[in-house]
Amino acid sequence: MSSLIKPRDVQVVYLDRQTTLLRSRTWDRLKFEVEYSLQKGTTANSFLIQSDKIALIDPPGESFTENYIKALQERLDLASIDYAIVQHFNPNRGATLKALLKLAPKLTLVCSKAAKLALDKLWQDEDLEVKVQLVNRSDLDLDLGQGHHLQFIPTPTPRWPDGICTYDPVSQILFTDKFFGAHVCGDQVLDEGWKLYSEDRRYYYDCIHAAQPRQVLTALDRIKDKPTRFYAPGHGPLVRYGKQELTQLYRSWSEKQSGQELSVALIYASAYGNTGTLAQAIARGITKSSVAVELIDCELADPAEIQAQVEKCDGFILGSPTLAGHPPTQVQTALGIVLSTAAKTKLAGVFGSFGWSGEAIDILESKLLDAGYKFGFEPIRVKFAPTDAILQQCKEAGIDFAQQLKRDLKRRTPRQSVNVSSSDRTAQAVGRVVGSLCVVSAHRGELHSGMLASWVSQATFNPPGLTVAVAKDRAMESLTHSGDRFVLNILPENSPLTRQFTRKFAPGEDRFVGLETETASNGAKILKDALAYLECTVGDRMECGDHWMVYATVQSGQVFDKTGVTAVHHRKTGSYY
């Protein structure tokens, strides 16, 4: 299959007379991080402005260094480049910056103070003379000549505390870096037919920004007065045709997320990025369950900020790498703040990655247990880099944590006196809508999951299609995006499969252990004890309150027991399953 994947390349597009887009493209998955889980490839967008002075914006990461440098050399003498604007920095981008500095001797790096501190660590063992210009004040600009007074807008977030956006008043392009992107690869540069990208952009937001909504709202306020033709994000198509709608959606999503009733402080440090990747996956599970998350990188956060978040949160989760058999100093400091600040009634969690031993996770666990805290999931210990299965386990752990917080809140909430109101009567009437009991088994790559479903209905004759309502906080929801494939296993009456899929599964637990299965042609699991099955492909999704309505077309199917009767789920109320 991999032989059919196109090789990585650089697509060069002229946006106007002096601005060029260089899209470093990968058609397969770039990284094992939750934001790339849809596996649609991605683009790393970089921009070249050639005026009296020449500037690059956001050179890509190490995966694209060779192709990117070659594409630049075909278009200009690299020695003529004056500036490289680094809107956010990570070590992966360092390889490309080093290559540029060796070929462009007069190059000055333009970045925030936080980015410079990270760059200093990168250069400390290098024999490089690096010129850096800081842009920490929003009133500073960079004059490239001919009206290209580039304006810098600070947009720090917990995940990218060094973040800035860049505005060019001549082209009226706003270079938005981590805002308004999507991980999808293709030939289309602008977002004509922008609704085609709605699902990818929403998924990108949910993975990247749902855990930092307050900072997103601040960034939106800072860019709203710039007369902008289009957004130029760091990934995916440029945003022109759907700009107004996407801006409003970012605001409404962020307002909804920041207004959640419950919140979790997710405090972590990450030596090589692996623990940070786990933190993002756990945060994704929490936010999809309608609970707010405050991501706190304790290597960057002030102790007073950590204390404030711990005081107001309903639960906290600590993540740590293991360095010389211990958590790093910053994690130990955060642990001390938690132990002295957090009420013992608050729900706790622990996770981390390690190379050869995982003592840091054990230390955090034992300290919290000794202090009397209750855990929302079993501690997660990951050796080296996480896999897709580990990321799914982390998401499910986040879901479990959020659901436990909701149960705790419900127990604390005084019960109202029982009166049969019109809403009660309506719920009882809704509950009379019945549905067949099915097990949806889905997969993406090597990852498999399954769930019991009763909100299933045929939707179309031609093509044959059906709808399945999937709760947002179901573990399997992340495997029901457009293009995903699943099997609908229709259960017979009194099937033991109903009990199997009604029980609570531990995060990452195999749902199909002990069951007789076979693999469908679309790769999902067929339950041999089902009454019948249908092989389906997701065609579309619609957000409906606390569920996603998934529409899928049916490719094939088979009845195992022609005399059997389909199991039907009868309810007394429409307020729960």
Q: By residue range, what is the domain housing residue 475?
A: 430-569
Beta-carbon contacts of residue 85 (< 8 Å; ≥ 6 apart)? 55, 56, 57, 58, 110, 111, 142, 150, 166, 175
Residue 157 is encoded by which pair of tokens? 């977030």
Residue 370 covered by a domain:
yes
User: Are residues 381 and 461 located together in one domain of the fold?
Assistant: no
**Final residue of a structural domain among 381, 410, 439:** 410
In a domain, 424, yes or no: no
Do 31 and 110 share a domain, yes or no? yes
What CATH number corresponds to the domain at position 563?
2.30.110.10
Nearest to 234, CA basis, from 31, 11, 44? 44
Q: Mark whether 266 and 362 lie in a shared domain.
A: yes
87 and 205 co-located in one domain: yes
Can you give the pLDDT at residue 421?
Answer: 65
- Same domain assignment for residues 294 and 193: no
Distance CA 84, CA 53 (A): 11
**Domain assignment present for 84:** yes
b/e per residue, 255-284, with b = 16+ CB within 10 A?
eebbebebbbbbbbbbbebbbbbbbbbbbb
Tell whether the torsion through CA atoms of 118, 119, 122 and 126 is positive or negative.
Answer: negative
Does a structural domain hold residue 2? no
pLDDT reported for residue 2:
42
User: What total of structural domains would you count in the chain?
Assistant: 3
Global pTM?
0.93
Could you tell me if 364 and 466 lie in one domain? Answer: no
The terminus-to-terminus CA distance of the chain in angstroms comes to: 41
User: How far apart, in whole angstroms, are the C-alpha atoms of residue 257 and residue 250?
Assistant: 11
**Would you say residue 574 lies in a domain?**
no
Give a yes or no: residue 346 inside a domain.
yes
CA distances from 471 to 76, 290, 391 (A): 53, 11, 20
* CATH number of the domain bearing residue 377: 3.40.50.360
Length of the chain: 577
pLDDT at 21: 98
Say whether both 108 and 151 belong to one domain.
Answer: yes
Residues 222 and 285 in one domain: no
Q: Please report whether residue 420 resides in a domain.
A: no
Q: Is the peptide bond before 105 cis (omega within 30 degrees of 0)?
A: no
pLDDT (tens, 9 = 90+) of the chain, 577 residues, equals 344 679 999 999 999 989 999 999 999 998 889 999 999 999 999 999 999 999 999 999 999 999 999 999 999 999 999 999 999 998 889 999 999 999 999 999 999 999 999 898 888 777 778 899 999 765 678 999 999 999 999 999 999 999 999 999 999 999 999 999 999 999 999 999 999 999 999 999 999 999 999 999 999 999 999 999 999 999 999 999 999 999 999 999 999 999 999 999 999 999 889 999 999 999 999 999 999 999 999 998 999 999 999 999 999 999 999 999 999 999 999 999 999 999 999 999 999 999 988 999 999 999 999 999 999 999 999 999 999 999 999 999 999 999 999 999 999 887 665 555 666 889 899 989 999 999 999 999 889 999 999 999 999 999 999 999 999 999 999 999 999 999 999 999 999 999 999 999 999 999 999 999 999 999 999 999 999 999 999 999 999 999 999 999 999 999 999 999 999 999 889 888 8
Task: Give me the residues paired with residue 319 across strands.
Answer: 268, 351
Same domain, 282 and 212: no
Q: CA 50, CA 48: separation in Å to the nearest integer? A: 6
CATH code, domain carrying 224: 3.60.15.10
Assess if residue 383 is contained within a domain. Answer: yes
Long-range pairs, 196-200, Cβ under 8 A, ≥24: 197/236, 197/237, 197/242, 198/242, 199/481, 199/482, 199/541, 200/38, 200/40, 200/236
Please name the residues in contact with 127: beta carbons below 8 A apart, sequence gap of 6 or more.
Answer: none
